[in-house]
């Protein structure tokens, strides 16, 4: 565990996907929901005491103090509770199957997180229990240019195809510094160390890739032009899964989210981006962002940082908890992210730290985990604040979310309740019983099998009886297939 | 003159021999040491596998094929007659995914440097990207590597299996799988369909230092191979017609094989065991425009309707998940694992109900006893026994593209038969006779059968089985 667990007990005896949750939600989708008597933290229009939010067809239909529930509407009485926009986590690695990094090569842009989304990852539910509704699911930081990334809604219980945030621009992960130069890996004998091994090499790798991408784009443009001019018998260029996402970056159709720490490498990437005519959408971690906040702001990039997580390696030493507030002061759009399934469960508290360190207002602190990351991901027209017309992605806390006592009661996405603390608590005895029953059933079956083997009296004659071989790959089999679940 | 006379003499003798042999072919064949080729199984209950059951009838086998089947069928005079009274004749069973006949290869490529030993030095060449074609040998054909001396062939056959799909292992595109007959005099006799289907594995082969080292890397790689092969199919004819205009296309065996595969619309086996993997495989099959067959499918009970909607056939792995042996007794068992282990055997029943076409495969089970035991579990979980039979016969044959030749008892079909003394999946049922390509095998009492087969049966079923079982065994 990277940090102390501050959050009060959040339990995740999650209901299995493809069962109750999804069905209930479908029913809700068709009817209106009124959340009433709550303190609404709208982010864009101040706080509303004794406020109500009316939800229709998954969208916020009305916000006010004297809303009436339409016929057939579900009413959630949130007396004494706080409703805020669902939390947007701008740096997450949840819900990924089969490895977060394609770390074998320095440019792995052909790898795509969208291919390997795992909707069964319990971290989705854990994060819902922390009020998170959107996550920017990123490839790891092993490579100067990593894999393609995807923004998801935490629609627990829905298949992978329904997780991506509709219309959100896809991204690509870049990484600078120690991770991509492989400072912490020594290859075994006979294996060549991977290029690059220095920060200079990281820059060169990125430049080389974009030169290649530019050339690739030219080849295709050339081919299409000739083809359009009626030229026959042309051999088309090969499709290149590595370069196509980079062409999209050049064309502004894909966001760059770059892992970084030090001021010098931040400036480096701004220069490289300028050279090739693209924009860095966010600098991630960006722990020395406070040193070059003006340059970041001028470049139009956002900064997505930690509240107070540092010193875990050389390049992360020069960090200060004032980073988020200082960058905000200089006009950078700043978010606070988790980079971690556990941390994502208390992003509200991470945001609150910028009130102590840097003196952000409560509303600006909340912006760090709502509107700002939504802007950074280009989804602020849909989420990030409580406004009429936006998606009904909301978190209901029992206290002010900036308080350490705040615990999420309900989390809604598209107007559907995906996490309900009481429902979770109520389901636990039944799930525990199911589990004990299944364990007992397995135990009984195992005993019967044992007895059967004995009564046959010739276990060695049957193939099964002879399975006394040492465990081989086969014994992993159950594990692997089960583990994939 | 003298010569001519002699010739006539020989001719006479020959004709006489022919007449004799026509009268009693079997005897003459036996006398000359050849196996008989004509049989009639009489008075037997015949489960044809096409839905009809003949309570007492005859199956005539002639020169490897089924010549006739019915209640009143003329028995050719040359036929050996097997009295089937009290016995039942079924179509020979198909195991639609094994490594039978394929010796397990150690460290054929970088696959050996798997994730279990992530930081160890890989043994093979380290791929630096898709262009290095990691773990890619689609030109390999299981038929060419099939060894007839695998003792398990007899073990499987003695239990009623006449046919198997031998699936090569090792890498992402390990090679073509072959439909084999489980008997023959020579190697060539065993091969039914050399290039039957193309298995793909999502298992990363890079071993940390090489590409790909992740599931998303494997998928990206496969996508690039399909891109390249599509490109090759397009570019090669243009180049051939304009050799003076273009640079020579580089030779790439993978592109050649895969582009032919795409052109022929050959089926592709995609591993997918749990619901997430299954839905992912269905999506990728659409994207890649391939005729996919899902194999694994043990959590098919959750997504059967999605599979049915795509009309994608499925091969279900009969090695049901079990708690890992010698596992830490204190280790937490999640409800999710427990549910999966409990419900996996219900997958075939749910698939059948949804109208999904599926076959069965042994997937690393060490012997037929376990195959039948686990089939009974599927039946206990709601699968109709005749649907189970279809999964082992007609439906597997269809999925493997050999339904024109086998999978049921009908005239013209290959004489693959199994004769039992009871319901084929019955616990106490014994197999009495097996026909493979019209070759007759009388099955003796169990101990003998065990003796013949149990040596090899003890061996771990090998790497392909592991892959078949695990779907994608990628690191978590």
Segments making up each domain of chain A, as ranges: 87-384
φ, ψ of residue B47 to 5 degrees: the values are -100, 105
Share of chain B above pLDDT 90, in %: 76
Whether B215 sits inside 8 A of A97 (CB atoms) is yes
State whether B39 and B113 are in the same domain.
no
State whether B139 and B13 are in the same domain.
no
How close B361 gets to chain A, by Cα (Å)?
15
Asked whether residue B423 is domain-assigned, the answer is no
> In chain B, what residues touch A120 (CB-CB under 8 Å)?
274-276, 336
Query: What's the ipTM?
Result: 0.90
State whether B182 and B120 are in the same domain.
yes
Total number of domains constituting chain B: 2
> In chain B, what residues touch A476 (CB-CB under 8 Å)?
324, 466, 470, 473
Question: Helix, strand or coil for residue B429?
Answer: coil
For A87-101, the pLDDT digits (tens) are 999 999 999 999 999
The answer on pLDDT for B416 being more than 90 is yes
Which domain covers residue B107, as residue numbers? 93-406+445-470
**A153 Cβ neighbours under 8 A, 6+ residues apart:** A133, A134, A163, A164, A165, A393, A413, A414
What's the pLDDT score for residue A362? 98
Strand A394-397 versus strand A334-336 pairing type: unpaired
pLDDT range class, residue A252, cuts 50, 70, 90: very high
What's the pLDDT score for residue A4? 39
Whether B217 sits inside 8 A of A481 (CB atoms) is no
CATH class given for the domain over A87-384:
alpha beta
What's the pLDDT score for residue A477? 29
Q: A336: which strand partners?
A: A305
Asked whether residue B412 is domain-assigned, the answer is no
pLDDT range class, residue B122, cuts 50, 70, 90: low
For B140-179, the pLDDT digits (tens) are 999 999 999 999 999 999 999 999 999 999 899 999 999 9
Asked whether residue B419 is domain-assigned, the answer is no
pTM to 2 decimal places:
0.88
Q: Which of A445-459, B46-60, B128-142, B168-182 has the lowest mean pLDDT?
A: A445-459
State whether B52 and B189 are in the same domain.
no
pLDDT range class, residue B426, cuts 50, 70, 90: very high
Whether A464 sits inside 8 A of B367 (CB atoms) is yes
Whether A102 sits inside 8 A of B341 (CB atoms) is no
State whether B202 and B303 are in the same domain.
yes
pLDDT range class, residue B124, cuts 50, 70, 90: low
Nearest CB partner across the interface for B370, out of A97, A104, A464 = A464
Q: Quick one: three-class SS letters along chain A?
A: CCCCCCCCCCCCCCCCCCCHHHHHHHHHHHCCEEEEEEEEECCCCCEEEEEEEEEECCEEEEEECCCCCCCCCEEEECCCCEEEECEEEEEECCCECCCCCCCCCCECCCCEHHHHECCCCHHHHHHHCCCEEEEEECCCCCCCEEEEEEEEECCCCCCHHHCECCCCCCEEEEECCCCCCCCCCCCCCCCCCCCCCCHHHHHHHHHHHHHHHHHHHHHHHHHHHHHHCCCCCCCCCCCCCCCHHHHHHHCCCCEEEEEECCHHHHHHHHHHHHHHCCCCCEEEECCCHHHCHHHHHHHCCEEEECCCCCCCCHHHCCCCCCHHHHHHHCCCCEEECCCCCCHHHHHHHHHHHHHHCCCCCHHHHHHCCCHHHHHHCCCCCCCCCCCCCCECCEEEECCCCCCCCCCEEEEEECCEEEEEHHHHHHHHHHHHHHHHHHHHHHHHHHHHHHHHHHHHCCHHHCCHHHCCCCCCHHHHHHHHHHHCC
For B291-308, the pLDDT digits (tens) are 999 999 999 999 999 999
State whether B67 and B143 are in the same domain.
no
Average pLDDT of the residues of chain A: 89
Asked whether residue B210 is domain-assigned, the answer is yes
Whether B336 sits inside 8 A of A16 (CB atoms) is yes
Asked whether residue B222 is domain-assigned, the answer is yes
Nearest CB partner across the interface for A99, out of B130, B216, B239 = B216
Nearest C-alpha in A relative to B337? A482
Nearest CB partner across the interface for A99, out of B121, B215, B246 = B215
Average pLDDT over residues A455-462: 44
pLDDT range class, residue B126, cuts 50, 70, 90: confident
Nearest CB partner across the interface for A235, out of B235, B450, B458 = B235
State whether B75 and B116 are in the same domain.
no
What Å distances lie between residue B436 and B37, B119, B416, CA to CA?
11, 48, 5
Asked whether residue B264 is domain-assigned, the answer is yes
For A147-198, the pLDDT digits (tens) are 999 999 999 999 999 999 999 999 999 999 999 998 878 888 888 889 999 9
pLDDT range class, residue A485, cuts 50, 70, 90: very low
Nearest CB partner across the interface for A159, out of B216, B279, B370 = B279
Average pLDDT over residues A66-88: 96
Query: Of B53, B70, B86, which residue sits at a domain end?
Result: B86
> In chain A, what residues touch B298 (CB-CB under 8 Å)?
481
How close B468 gets to chain A, by Cα (Å)?
10
What's the pLDDT score for residue B323? 87
Nearest CB partner across the interface for A478, out of B130, B322, B476 = B322
Q: What are the structure tokens assigned to B84, written together?
A: 């089937």
Q: Which residue has the tokens 């038969």?
A: B417
Q: Are B30 and B43 in contact (CB under 8 A)?
A: no
Asked whether residue B436 is domain-assigned, the answer is no
Q: For B297, left (φ over 0), alpha (ψ -120 to 50), or beta?
A: left
Q: A47: which strand partners?
A: A41
pLDDT range class, residue B328, cuts 50, 70, 90: confident
**According to DSSP H, which parts of B407-462 are helical?**
446-457
Spatial distance between the Cα atoms of B456 and B98, rounded to a whole number of angstroms? 14
State whether B54 and B98 are in the same domain.
no
Beta carbons within 10 angstroms of residue A125's beta carbon: 24
For A102-137, the pLDDT digits (tens) are 999 999 999 999 999 999 999 999 999 999 999 999
State whether B45 and B99 are in the same domain.
no
Query: Of B86, B102, B126, which residue sits at a domain end?
Result: B86
How close B36 gets to chain A, by Cα (Å)?
32
The answer on pLDDT for B118 being more than 60 is no
CATH number, domain with residue B189: 3.20.20.140
Is pLDDT larger for residue B336 or for residue A450? Answer: B336
Whether A116 sits inside 8 A of B280 (CB atoms) is yes
State whether B18 and B73 are in the same domain.
yes
pLDDT range class, residue B17, cuts 50, 70, 90: low
> In chain A, what residues touch B306 (CB-CB under 8 Å)?
159
Asked whether residue B382 is domain-assigned, the answer is yes
């Amino acid at each position: 565990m990277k940090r102390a667990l501050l959050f009060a007990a959040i339990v995740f005896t999650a209901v299995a996907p493809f069962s109750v949750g999804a069905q209930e939600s479908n029913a809700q989708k068709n009817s209106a929901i009124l959340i009433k008597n709550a303190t609404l933290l709208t982010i864009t229009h101040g706080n509303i005491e004794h406020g109500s939010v009316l939800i229709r067809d998954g969208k916020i239909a009305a916000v006010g103090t004297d809303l009436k529930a339409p016929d057939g509407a579900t009413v959630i009485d949130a007396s004494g509770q706080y409703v805020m926009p669902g939390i947007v986590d701008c740096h997450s690695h949840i819900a990924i199957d089969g490895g977060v990094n394609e770390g074998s090569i320095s440019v792995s842009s052909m790898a795509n997180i969208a291919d390997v989304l795992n909707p069964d990852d319990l971290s989705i539910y854990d994060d819902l229990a922390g009020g998170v509704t959107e996550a920017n699911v990123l490839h790891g930081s092993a490579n100067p240019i990593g894999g393609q990334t995807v923004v998801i809604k935490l629609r627990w219980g829905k298949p992978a195809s329904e997780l991506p945030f509709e219309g959100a621009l896809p991204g690509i992960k870049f990484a600078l510094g120690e991770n991509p130069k492989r400072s912490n890996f020594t290859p075994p004998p006979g294996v060549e160390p991977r290029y690059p091994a220095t920060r200079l090499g990281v820059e060169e790798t990125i430049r080389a890739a974009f030169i290649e991408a530019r050339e690739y784009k030219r080849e295709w443009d050339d081919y299409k032009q000739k083809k359009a001019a009626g030229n026959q018998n042309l051999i088309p260029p090969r499709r290149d899964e590595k370069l196509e996402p980079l062409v999209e970056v050049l064309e502004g159709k894909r966001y760059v989210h770059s892992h970084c720490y030090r001021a010098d490498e931040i400036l480096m990437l701004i220069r490289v981006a300028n050279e090739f005519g693209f924009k860095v959408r966010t600098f991630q971690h960006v722990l020395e962002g406070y040193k070059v906040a003006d340059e970041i702001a001028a470049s139009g990039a956002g900064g997505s940082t930690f509240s107070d997580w540092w010193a875990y390696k050389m390049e992360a030493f020069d960090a200060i908890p004032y980073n988020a507030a200082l960058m905000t002061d200089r006009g950078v759009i700043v978010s606070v992210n988790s980079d971690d399934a556990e941390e994502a469960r208390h992003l509200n508290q991470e945001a609150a730290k910028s009130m102590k360190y840097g003196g952000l207002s409560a509303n600006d602190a909340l912006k760090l985990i709502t509107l700002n990351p939504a802007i950074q991901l280009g989804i602020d027209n849909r989420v990030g604040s409580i406004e009429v017309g936006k998606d009904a992605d909301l978190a209901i806390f029992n206290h002010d979310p900036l308080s350490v006592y705040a615990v999420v009661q309900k989390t809604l996405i598209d107007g559907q309740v995906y996490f309900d603390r009481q429902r979770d608590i109520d389901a636990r005895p039944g799930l525990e019983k199911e589990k004990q029953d299944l364990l007992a059933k397995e135990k009984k079956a195992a005993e019967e099998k044992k007895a059967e083997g004995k009564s046959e009296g010739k276990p060695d004659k049957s193939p099964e009886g002879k399975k006394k071989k040492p465990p081989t790959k086969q014994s992993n089999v159950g594990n692997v297939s089960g583990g994939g679940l | 003159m003298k010569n001519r006379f002699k010739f006539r003499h020989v001719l006479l003798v020959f004709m006489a021999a022919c007449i004799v042999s026509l009268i009693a072919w079997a005897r003459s064949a036996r006398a000359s040491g050849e196996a008989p080729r004509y049989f009639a199984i009489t008075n037997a209950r015949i489960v044809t596998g096409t839905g009809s059951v003949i309570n007492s009838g005859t199956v005539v086998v002639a020169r490897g094929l089924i010549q006739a089947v019915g209640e009143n069928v003329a028995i050719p005079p040359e036929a050996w007659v097997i009295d089937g009274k009290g016995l039942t004749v079924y179509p020979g069973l198909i195991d639609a995914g094994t490594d039978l006949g394929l010796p397990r290869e150690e460290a054929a490529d970088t696959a050996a440097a798997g994730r279990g030993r992530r930081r160890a030095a890989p043994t093979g060449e380290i791929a630096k990207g898709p262009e290095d074609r990691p773990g890619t040998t689609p030109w390999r054909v299981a038929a060419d590597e099939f060894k007839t001396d695998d003792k398990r062939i007899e073990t499987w056959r003695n239990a009623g299996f006449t046919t198997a799909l031998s699936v090569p292992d090792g890498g992402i595109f390990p090679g073509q799988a072959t439909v084999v007959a489980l008997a023959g005099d020579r190697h060539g006799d065993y091969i039914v369909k050399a290039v039957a289907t193309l298995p793909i594995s999502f298992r990363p082969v890079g071993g940390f230092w090489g590409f790909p080292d992740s599931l998303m890397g494997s998928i990206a790689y496969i996508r690039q191979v399909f891109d390249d092969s599509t490109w090759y199919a397009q570019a090669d004819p243009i180049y051939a017609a304009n050799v003076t205009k273009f640079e020579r296309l580089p030779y790439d065996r993978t592109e050649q094989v895969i582009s032919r595969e795409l052109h022929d619309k050959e089926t592709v086996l995609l591993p997918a065991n749990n619901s997430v993997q299954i839905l992912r495989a269905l999506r990728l099959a659409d994207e890649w425009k391939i005729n996919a067959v899902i194999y694994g499918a043990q959590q098919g009970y959750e997504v059967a309707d999605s599979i049915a909607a795509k009309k994608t056939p499925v091969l279900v792995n009969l090695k049901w998940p079990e708690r890992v042996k010698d596992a830490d007794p204190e280790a937490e068992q999640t409800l999710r694992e427990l549910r999966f282990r409990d419900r996996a055997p219900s997958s075939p029943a749910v698939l059948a109900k949804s109208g999904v076409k599926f076959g069965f495969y042994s997937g690393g089970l060490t012997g037929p006893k376990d195959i039948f035991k686990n089939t009974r579990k599927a039946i206990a979980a709601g699968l109709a026994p005749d649907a189970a039979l279809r999964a082992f016969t007609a439906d597997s044959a269809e999925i493997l593209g050999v339904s024109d030749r086998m999978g049921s008892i009908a005239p013209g079909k290959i004489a693959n038969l199994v004769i039992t003394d009871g319901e084929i999946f019955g616990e106490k049922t014994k197999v009495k006779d097996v026909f493979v390509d019209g070759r007759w095998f009388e099955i003796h009492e169990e101990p003998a059968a065990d003796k013949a087969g149990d040596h090899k049966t003890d061996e771990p079923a090998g790497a392909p089985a592991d892959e078949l079982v695990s779907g994608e065994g990628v690191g978590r």
